[in-house]
Structure 1
Amino acid sequence: MKRILLLTVSDMRFQFQHGFYYAYLLMTIIYIWMLKFVPVDYLDSVTVVVVFSDPSFLGAFFIGGIVLLEKSQGVYDAFFVTPLRVGEFLLSKILSLSIISLLSSVAILLMVHSNFDVIPFLVGILLSSVVFTLIGLLLAVRVNTVNQFLLTSPLVLMVFFVPVFGLFEWWDSILFKWLPSYAGLLLIEGTFHDLNIGELFLAISILILWAVGLYLWAKHDFHKYILAKAGDEK
């Protein structure tokens, strides 16, 4: 646990040095500014979408940038000379990006709303951040350049963004309910509207199942696409 915390602090320092915190700050300011112009009748729904897009899209894109940047800098060669485990490495990445997402999302909420339930909000942001960080990582380990990542990642992420249509009653399907984005949106929406116990339990369970499955998949693929290739190059 101590090693994971030290790695998380190191990751946060790395992210700060490479401008990720400045990018998040800029996006947070833009989101707050945009929400100030949204009519009151639509403010809650639009806030849900905006806040959800923070850990999902930004988290997925940033982890891609981080993985590709570290790959180019030869950071992963350290796995062959240190006792560092892949699980610890992944958890530190997840924690560091989840912290940024939480800070950004809470700032947006506090600046735009005065009446809300913070518990489902924090749970929704945290679990959504974990899931989409892992999705971004799974995409990043498969490509070699930023351009490749920018071309492929939006196509995958758009599939997970489809449940947003249900939020505005434009298009709905029972299949949406099994996507982590639906569960994340439901929890974040619970910030402004009461959720019953069944909805709360289902949403959290779906997100946890996705998070565990993606984590195990990411560990496997990190070995396959990053460490195995680094070993071959040696």
Structure 2
Amino acid sequence: MKTLFKMVIWDLKIQARNQIITVALIIAAIYTAIFFLLGLRGNDKILIALIFSDPTFMGFIFTGVLVLFEKSSNTLQALVVTPVKSWQYFYSKAISLTIISLIVCFAMIFASHGFHFNYFYFLSATFLSSLLFIFLGFIGVAKIKTFNQYIIVIPLFIAPFSLPYLNFFGLTNSPWLYLFPTQASFFLFEGSFGKITSFEIIYSFGYIILAIGVAHYFADRLFKKYIIRGE
């Protein structure tokens, strides 16, 4: 655990050096500015939609960017001959990027909504959504060699998981969209500002944790096979 802790600190320093934290904060500031300029204060639907996009889009994209950067600098190949285990590298990225996402999302909600909301549901929604899309990012980047290739992959992953926006904004009321774990994320974010039913609580936590477990399984296998061993 001591090694993992040191790696998380190191990853946060690398992300700060590569301006990833700066970019994340700038995006959050832009979202917040748009929210105020359009006079949307009090519109929790729009606020949730903006906040939700941070752990999803940023988690997925930043994971790929970091892995591709370290591929090009041969950092990943060095893991084979160092005491650092692949799982430590894997979880270090997941933890450090989740920390950034939590900081950014809480900054956005404090600035746009204030301090009166359900912290447990908001923290859970942000944390679980971040983990899910970070693991999906590892899956998406596993066989990719360049950022140009990754740009093509991004919408292939993000688009399907964005479909629950339709239910969220009342454009549809399809139970089929419950198959996407991001529907669970929306329920938890909505629970941060209002009521959430017992079914929604059980479904949200159960399903998104299951989805994280499945994503983690495939991310770990692909990470070891294509990124570490370079097959």
User: TM over 0.5: same fold?
Assistant: yes
**Alignment of structure 1 residues 35-114 onto 2, 5 Å:** 35-40=35-40, 43-114=43-114
CA deviation map 1:44-99 (0-9, x unaligned):
00011101000000110011100000000000122221232222211111110101
1 CA distance for matches of 2:106 and 2:166? 24
Please give the secondary structure, in 2, of the residue aligned with 1:36.
Answer: helix
Q: 2:40, 2:46 within 8 Å by CA — same for their partners in 1?
A: no
**Aligned-pair distance for 1:39?**
4.7
**Alignment of structure 1 residues 110-125 onto 2, 5 Å:** 110-114=110-114, 115-125=116-126
Residue number in structure 1 paired with 2:141: 140
Residue number in structure 1 paired with 2:150: 149
2 CA distance for matches of 1:58 and 1:40? 23
For structure 1, the 5+ residue unaligned runs are none
Please give the secondary structure, in 1, of the residue aligned with 2:229.
Answer: helix
1 CA distance for matches of 2:10 and 2:77? 17
Q: 1:123, 1:187 within 8 Å by CA — same for their partners in 2?
A: yes
Residue number in structure 2 paired with 1:6: 6
**Aligned-pair distance for 1:40?**
5.0
Overall identity of the aligned pairs, in %? 29
Q: How many residues align?
A: 230
Please give the secondary structure, in 1, of the residue aligned with 2:171.
Answer: coil
Q: 1:35, 1:43 within 8 Å by CA — same for their partners in 2?
A: no
Instruction: Give every structure 1 segment of 4 or more consecutive aligned residues whose post-TM-superposition deviation is greater than 4 Å.
Output: 38-42
**Alignment of structure 1 residues 170-181 onto 2, 5 Å:** 170-181=171-182
Calculate the TM-score normalised by the size of structure 2.
0.95
Residue number in structure 1 paired with 2:185: 184
CA RMSD in angstroms comes to: 1.5
1 CA distance for matches of 2:43 and 2:195? 17
**Aligned-pair distance for 1:154?**
1.3
Calculate the TM-score normalised by the size of structure 1.
0.94
**Aligned-pair distance for 1:38?**
4.2
Q: 1:163, 1:172 within 8 Å by CA — same for their partners in 2?
A: no
